[in-house]
Amino acid sequence: MKKTAFSLALGTLSLGLSAPLAAQDIEIGKVEGEVALEPAEAGGAMDEAAVLAMMSGMFQAEPLTADQEARLPAATAIVATMMPEGFYGEMMRDMMEKTMRPMMAMFSEPDFILASRLTLDEAAIAELGDAEKRELLTMLDPAWDRRADTMVDALIANMGGAFAAVEPPVRAGLAKAYAVRFDEAQLADISSFFATPTGSEFARQSMALFADPQVMGATMEALPEMVGSFTEMETSMEAALESLPAERDYADLSAAQRARMADLLGVEPDALGDMVIPHGEGEEPEVE
């Protein structure tokens, strides 16, 4: 359940972040049908610094022009109206509360917990009465009815530092985006609108709308179709890859290629066979 809660927390964060949040290097793998997220071992192929550098390099923006720099103060004032101090943290906490707690409640159902702790099939569990289920659960976990809420409370409470760290750069990035996308006259029009009662309320609500239950619910309704498209995507990708030359193993290399590879690596040719990992056997992250 702890891995599930952590996974849900990261998923919720990804919905609300406008820039990638890489708190630590993460390995993703299958663990009994759920997504497992574990810190990578020290000295792994990609440590925390390497991941952070890689991700920051993926989203390089063009420097602002002189005109855009001149519009930045007006854009910053608009963003300050949309995202007052502490707003981002409040929005994210509200989003986590509305998404994580209902999801974690599903994993707190007596039948679900009993199925995960006892070798009983669904029919045998269904035959138990409610009082019997509670008695069994209390034997296995005296806090079974409080554990999920406790985890969610702890996660939300400890996310304060992440929210505080992310809010200033998000605000600064949004201000630059406004300075790039809107000219001086348009920024003035937006500012004038935000100065009206309706505009002020719109500015305050515009960012929070993405965490509204109506939006979140509609997004969840689209999940089955999204999941179905993943299968089509995988089939399409496999078909595209089939048009490429096959990967080579050591046995596929010519004598000249083996000699050149050994020379490039600075090893004896006889040692090369143990160094080349057969394709498909390397460690790759898996997501289910």
This prediction's pTM? 0.55
Q: What is the pLDDT of residue 176?
A: 95
Q: Alpha-carbon distance 118 to 148, whole Å? A: 19
- Collapsed DSSP state (helix, strand, coil) of residue 3: helix
**What is the DSSP secondary structure assignment for residue 235, as one 8-state letter?**
H
- Collapsed DSSP state (helix, strand, coil) of residue 79: helix
Is residue 40 over pLDDT 80?
Answer: no
The mean pLDDT value of the chain amounts to 78
Q: What is the pLDDT of residue 155?
A: 81
Tell me the per-residue pLDDT of 101-124, one tens digit each, with 9 for 90 and over.
877 777 788 998 898 888 888 899
Q: How confident is the model at residue 138 (pLDDT cuts 50, 70, 90)?
A: very high
Q: Alpha-carbon distance 250 to 262, whole Å? A: 12
Beta-bridge mates of residue 36: 29
Average pLDDT estimate for 67-91: 90
| Residue count of the chain | 288
Q: Alpha-carbon distance 211 to 169, whole Å? A: 20
Average pLDDT estimate for 86-100: 79
